[in-house]
Amino acid sequence: MRQLRTLNDLSITEINYLLTQAEKPIAPLNGFYTAANLFFEASTRTKYSFEMAEAKLGIHKFDFAAQASSLEKGESLYDTLKTFESFGTDLLVIRHPQARYYQELEGLNIPIINAGDGAGDHPTQSLLDLLTMKQEFGTLLGLHVVIAGDILHSRVANTNAKILEQLGARVSYAGPAEWMPPHISAKQLLTMDEAVKQADVMMMLRIQTERHDGKAFWSKQSYHNRFGLTEEREQKMLPHAIIMHPAPVNRGVELADSLVEAERSRIFKQVQNGVLVRQSVLKYLLETKGAKRYENIV
């Protein structure tokens, strides 16, 4: 059964195929398809870009509200999803606060797209980020990407770092020491002042306050001064370098308000690419439903 739980579910060939297809006009699917969108965490960009992609492809969607479902009566996630499978739903799009929630769903026989699991993975976000960088630079090989901010709690950082390195990019990190995972080596760490002078891509991250257990490590102003992309730091970036952020953006915290829509910002381009990538992924999984891993796509 074809799935997209992490990017490990795709070969490099498939990833390149999906990125190529995302930039081509995609006609509505032939036949009648249904998808259930189950979001157990708040979302704007991911949720509604999936809905836009589904609408463009002619997929009939079911919006799921946990508080109005049998989960409120104690039903398990597995049984809820098994119910959608039994309805004949063709595909599930799931965001869940539990990391690797999909490991508890092995008995399902329906494609799942992971729309984000806790601080684990966010594969479609990574694909749209890859597309944005490829549009800008033509290749990821040799690109220097600095991921800056709340690395420890970010599923975006986790997913992007792995695939960028596989595709030949160099990944460095900047941010507070208490938000750095233990696997990051000292040679990968940069201060923000070092990072802006070296990076082709400054990938800023939102502070994941909902995953901090109520602990306030930094005031907004002190964080911005030390770890944010200020106007002064932006002036030191390489002429060709771009700014990315998965959003939502805390303006004046991760980056200066004036930089969100600056000439070198690609933040809203990422949003546009989110629809394109999710169309590509939906179409691919539905058309290869039940197929084994595709290694050689023409």
Binding residues for carbamoyl phosphate: 45-46, 95, 122, 125, 247-248
Binding residues for L-aspartate: 73, 155, 206
For the record, the structure tokens of 191 come out as 């201060």
Greatest Cα pair distance, the chain, in angstroms, is 57
Q: How far apart are CA 290 and CA 211, in angstroms?
A: 36
Q: How far apart are CA 68 and CA 78, in angstroms?
A: 17
Q: How far apart are CA 236 and CA 197, in angstroms?
A: 6
Cβ partners under 8 Å of residue 255, min gap 6: 204, 228, 229, 230, 243, 245, 249
Range list of β-strands (E), 12-126: 34-39, 60-64, 91-96, 112-117
Contact 227, 189 (CB under 8 A): no
Contact 30, 78 (CB under 8 A): no
List, in sequence order, the alpha helices (H) in 24-166: 45-57, 77-87, 123-137, 155-166
SS3 170: strand
Point out which residues pair with 56 in neighbouring strands.
none
CA atoms within 13 A on the CB side of 197: 5
Point out which residues pair with 114 in neighbouring strands.
94
Binding residues: 45-46, 73, 95, 122, 125, 155, 206, 247-248
Rg (CA), the chain: 19
